[in-house]
Chains A and B, each alone.
Chain A
Amino acid sequence: KPLPPVEVKPGDHRLQFTYNIWFSRRAPGKQATTQNYDQNLKLIGRFASVEQFWAYYSRLVRPADLNSHSDIHIFKDGIKPMWEDAANKNGGKWIVRLRKGLASRCWENMILAMLGEQFMVGDEICGAVISVRFQEDIISVWNRTAQDTATTTRIRDTLKRVLNLPPNTVMEYKTHNDSLKDHSSFRNTRADGY
């Protein structure tokens, strides 16, 4: 059921959308299932203004300091960070793999671009995830309509610009439908230029 609206104090800078912060951690080696993924997903905060965002963010652990197999998800209010959610089920995500050491800076740039509406794709963005893994960190940006090539191209180009990535960084797109089929988030992806 929908959560109540987040109140914004007079004078606060309201964001275009309200967002929820989620955290999840998976025991390494354990088979991921929809059920245990759902159980591991914890809602840790909600914000609707720039001031509320910074109040949460300044208390959040930076990706570089998180244990492996942890994920932070920042999603628009009403959208659960699951493939099966109504807003996600026809969507997909851009995947950017980062070598260790880049995640905290890139993640911050990613969030600021999302909250600041720099993607200019209307309501297409659902949320973003930073996934801390053993040998790499992965940023993903989820959008509603995987088939909308104009939108996914625009998201990719904005991502490249705001993350300030090295020019040879490979970006991959994966539909949530494909993730559901092969039960994996980052395997069997479609490299940029498909």
Chain B
Amino acid sequence: GTRIIYERTFLMQMRNSPLAK
């Protein structure tokens, strides 16, 4: 299948997502 790639900026944005709390 397709490799799931995430850039650092996206991962950093997700840090502050309420879903990650």
| A and B are interacting partners | yes
A interface residues with partner B (beta carbon < 8 Å)? 11-16, 50-51, 53-55, 58, 109, 112-113, 115-118, 162
Contact partner of B19 among A11, A112, A118, CB < 8 A?
A: A11
Given A54-B20, A58-B15: A14 and B4 interface contact (C-beta under 8 Å)? yes
Assess the B20–A116 pair: CB atoms within 8 A.
no
Contact partner of B11 among A16, A58, A112, CB < 8 A?
A: A112
Give the A-B pair count, Cβ closer than 8 A: 49
Given A50-B14, A112-B11, A112-B12: A12 and B5 interface contact (C-beta under 8 Å)? no
Q: What would be 23 A-B contacts, judged by CB atoms less than 8 Å apart?
A: A11-B19, A12-B19, A13-B6, A13-B14, A15-B4, A15-B6, A16-B3, A50-B6, A50-B11, A50-B14, A50-B20, A51-B17, A54-B15, A58-B21, A109-B8, A112-B12, A115-B6, A115-B11, A116-B5, A116-B7, A116-B8, A117-B4, A117-B5
- B10 cross-chain contacts in A, Cβ below 8 A: 116
**Nearest CB in chain A to that of B11: its residue:** A112
Assess the B12–A51 pair: CB atoms within 8 A.
no
- B11 cross-chain contacts in A, Cβ below 8 A: 50, 112, 115-116
User: Chain A nearest CB: distance from B14 CB in Å?
Assistant: 5
User: Chain A nearest CB: distance from B6 CB in Å?
Assistant: 4
**Nearest CB in chain A to that of B2: its residue:** A16
User: Chain A nearest CB: distance from B8 CB in Å?
Assistant: 5
Cα(A115)–Cα(B14), bound, Å: 13
- B15 cross-chain contacts in A, Cβ below 8 A: 54, 58
Assess the B4–A55 pair: CB atoms within 8 A.
no
User: Chain B nearest CB: distance from A50 CB in Å?
Assistant: 5
Cα(A158)–Cα(B15), bound, Å: 23
Cα(A117)–Cα(B12), bound, Å: 15
- A13 cross-chain contacts in B, Cβ below 8 A: 6, 14
**Nearest CB in chain A to that of B19: its residue:** A51
**Nearest CB in chain B to that of A111: its residue:** B11
**Nearest CB in chain B to that of A15: its residue:** B4
